[in-house]
């Protein structure tokens, strides 16, 4: 007699989706072939022994455009190629001889020693570039392959790495910037994040996933858990107490999906094991045939949460999970900006660099200012912001002055506070338009144009250089997706498709893409001013933008 719970039936697409567990082992696209031929993690030794000595021209193309990502390295975009040509050119024509390098910072947690090292590397090897990403990483540009071993040595000397910062791997784990300091927190998720990092990151067990895999673990709902591949969100079980509610299958890009709850409650010490089970389901059942259908959100959409949970419990955990309640949804977005009390009586101070752009010298200055305030702990946030922890009352004033001198305001304008931007055409090979510097200029413009307005609800503005939505286009109040548009004189120019009314939390959902609503980059300030003024003028009491 076969067991009552035999292998799950295949989804409707019976041609085979490249699921290992169903016997579809044959690599079905070039990325799968590259991973089969050699584990991405193995490229490190070639970088250290061959490529760093031989320079850019010595790099094997399958390493350059494939396995380098397993160590956080992408070639950056060759300067001078306009966005209209992005899709038409071969990768070699877009490749610069320099790299973007992403430093993995799980939970966004940095000591001042680590922060200083990150800044020194930027000054020495990255032309002083450093962007805080919305995945709590630091991203450098202008990196030469010759310098990569020295950079790794410097990072690893302070306990940081670039391991699996990119590639088809478990990427950086998002975590609350306030672990252990917030009065509202019932459980600090840091031990689970550390255990995942120590046990599974850099392990061949999960170094060949069908696609990238994004994780968020936080008591607070401050990590965009609705749009991660897997999330663990704090919740109190009526019998078992504080633990975590599990969500799977969220993601943005061209097929956005809000994650689904498994309806399961997991105690803190079991989070790493359940996380590993979910990653293994994805590794074994994920769709490897077509790259654009390989994220876990497609599997979850086809299976549904109940079947996903059943396979996880039966085949990977060997026991049922405990049913659990949904967490309450916070009343508004959580960004940790400003000066706030910690549970121990000290303070945390959240500051807003414009669209996450800082520099190595700014980070070194930040480390000095934080140490002068007798703190040692800094956190990066999933909103491209920075939080300083553990500041005594008598140190707050001096720290605020020093942060402001670095361009890091704890009392930013509403526009600086809520604007995010992806990397864009300055460095990203997929980009169609410029985003980062444009967002910084836009913030200044809105501060001038809207100086008379003081909206008491945030209006978030996210600029993305292409449909990939790295800065979460679809979950912004005003989401801007870069494309080439036609201006009033018939010229093809950089611009944006507008998505209105997206959000997370209470307003979790995707902005409406208004057919035909496209603005040129030059019109962006005019357009946003019009939209915001109309919202403020017509708003009902307590109405949010996304309602």
Contact residues toward ligand SF4 (CB under 6 A) are 422-424, 428, 430-431, 464-466, 468-470
β partners of residue 242 = 236
Q: Which is nearer to ligand SF4, 409 or 483 (CB)?
A: 483
Per the CB < 8 A criterion, the answer to whether 500 and 478 are in contact is yes
Smallest distance from ligand SF4 to CB 196, Å: 25
Which residue, 178 or 469, has its beta carbon nearer to ligand SF4? 469
What is the smallest separation between the CB atom of 167 and ligand SF4, expressed in angstroms?
15
Q: Specify the residue, 260 or 423, whose C-beta has the smaller distance to ligand SF4.
A: 423
Residues contacting residue 82 through CB under 8 Å, at least 6 positions apart = none
**Tokens in use for 382?**
């999933």
Map residue 510 onto helix, strand or coil.
Answer: coil
Closer of 182 and 355 to ligand SF4 (Cβ): 355
199-209 residues labelled b (16+ CB within 10 A) or e (exposed): ebbbeeebbbb
**Minimal distance in Å, beta carbon 422 to ligand SF4?**
3
Q: Is 319 exposed, middle or buried (0-12, 13-18, 19+ CB in 10 A)?
A: exposed
Coil vs helix vs strand at 375? coil
Per-residue DSSP letter, 475: G
Question: Nearer to ligand SF4 by C-beta: 76 or 231?
Answer: 76
* Least distance CB 432 / ligand SF4 (angstroms): 7
- Closest contact distance (angstroms) between CB of 353 and ligand SF4 is 17
Cβ nearer to ligand SF4, comparing 268 with 466:
466
Nearest to 162 by CA among 98, 72, 45, 100: 72
Least separation in angstroms between residue 284's CB and ligand SF4 is 28
Query: Which structure tokens are listed for 443?
Result: 């913030």
Residue number with CB closer to ligand SF4 (282 or 496): 496
Give min distance, CB of 468 to ligand SF4, in A.
Answer: 4
Q: Give the residue with the Cβ less far from ligand SF4, 118 or 430.
A: 430
Order the strands of the 386-391 sheet from edge to edge.
Answer: 109-111, 377-380, 386-391, 347-351, 338-341
Alpha carbon distance 247, 233 (integer Å): 8
The number of helices, as runs of H, and strands, as runs of E, in the chain is: 16, 21
Structure tokens that stand for 535 in this block: 């919202």
Q: How far is the CB of 264 from ligand SF4 (least distance, A)?
A: 32
Q: Which CB, 231 or 473, lies closer to ligand SF4? A: 473
User: Please, what is the minimum distance in Å from the beta carbon of residue 244 to ligand SF4?
Assistant: 29
CB of 428 to ligand SF4, least distance (A): 3
For residues 260, 264, 270, 272, the Cα torsion angle rounded to the nearest 10 degrees is -10
Instruction: Quickly tell me which residue has 């996380």 as its tokens.
Output: 275
Between residues 135 and 544, which has the closer beta carbon with respect to ligand SF4?
Answer: 135
Q: Which residue of the chain is nearest ligand SF4 when measured via CB?
A: 465
* DSSP structural state of residue 11: P
Cβ–Cβ under 8 Å, residues 176 and 185: yes
Dist CA 117 CA 138 (whole Å)? 12
Residue closest to 150 by CA, chosen among 109, 106, 115, 117: 117
């Amino acid at each position: 007699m076969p067991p009552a719970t035999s292998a799950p039936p295949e989804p409707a697409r019976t041609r085979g989706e490249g699921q290992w567990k169903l016997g579809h082992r044959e690599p079905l696209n070039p990325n799968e072939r590259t991973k089969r031929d050699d584990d991405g993690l193995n490229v490190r030794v070639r970088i250290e022994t061959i490529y760093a000595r031989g320079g850019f021209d010595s790099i094997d193309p399958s390493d350059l455009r494939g396995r380098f990502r397993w160590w956080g390295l992408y070639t950056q975009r060759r300067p001078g190629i306009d966005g209209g040509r992005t899709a038409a050119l071969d990768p070699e024509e877009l490749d610069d001889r320099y790299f973007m390098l992403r430093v993995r910072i799980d939970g966004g947690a940095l000591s001042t020693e680590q922060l200083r090292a990150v800044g020194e590397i930027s000054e020495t090897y990255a032309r002083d570039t450093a962007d805080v990403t919305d995945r709590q990483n630091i991203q450098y540009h202008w990196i030469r392959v010759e310098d990569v071993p020295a950079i790794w040595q410097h990072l690893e000397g302070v306990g940081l790495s670039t391991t699996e910062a990119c590639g088809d791997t478990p990427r950086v784990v998002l975590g609350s910037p306030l672990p252990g300091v917030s009065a509202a927190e019932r459980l600090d998720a840091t031990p689970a994040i550390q255990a995942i990092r120590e046990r599974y990151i850099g392990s061949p067990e999960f170094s060949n996933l069908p696609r990238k895999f994004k994780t968020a673990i936080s008591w607070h709902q401050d990590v965009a858990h609705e749009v991660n591949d897997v999330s663990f969100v704090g919740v109190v079980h009526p019998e078992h107490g504080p633990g975590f509610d599990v969500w799977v299958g969220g993601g943005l890009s061209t097929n956005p999906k809000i994650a689904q709850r498994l309806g399961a409650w997991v105690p803190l010490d079991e989070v790493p094991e359940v996380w590993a089970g979910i990653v293994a389901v994805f590794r074994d059942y994920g769709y490897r045939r077509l790259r654009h259908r390989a994220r876990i959100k497609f599997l979850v959409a086809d299976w549904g949460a109940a079947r996903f949970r059943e396979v996880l419990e039966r085949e990977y955990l060997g026991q049922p999970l405990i049913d659990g309640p949904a967490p309450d949804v916070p009343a508004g977005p959580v960004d940790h900006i400003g000066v706030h009390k910690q549970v121990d009586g000290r303070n945390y101070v959240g500051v807003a660099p414009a669209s996450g752009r800082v520099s190595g010298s700014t980070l070194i200055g930040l480390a000095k200012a934080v140490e002068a305030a007798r703190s040692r702990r800094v956190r990066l946030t999933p909103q491209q912001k920075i939080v300083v922890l553990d500041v005594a009352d008598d140190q707050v004033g001096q720290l605020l002055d020093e942060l402001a001198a670095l361009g890091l305001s704890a009392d930013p304008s509403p526009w600086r506070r809520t604007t995010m931007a992806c990397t864009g055409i300055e460095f990203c090979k997929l980009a169609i338009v410029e985003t980062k510097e444009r967002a910084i200029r836009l913030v200044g413009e809105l501060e001038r144009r809207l100086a008379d307005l003081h909206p008491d609800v945030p209006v978030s503005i996210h600029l993305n250089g292409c449909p990939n939505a790295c800065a979460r286009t679809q979950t912004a109040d005003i989401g801007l997706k870069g494309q080439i548009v036609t201006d009033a004189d018939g010229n093809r120019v950089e611009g944006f498709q507008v998505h209105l009314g997206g959000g997370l939390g209470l307003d979790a959902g995707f902005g409406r893409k208004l057919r035909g609503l496209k603005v040129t980059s030059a019109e962006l300030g005019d357009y946003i001013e019009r939209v915001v003024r109309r919202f403020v003028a017509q708003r009902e009491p307590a109405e949010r933008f996304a309602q």
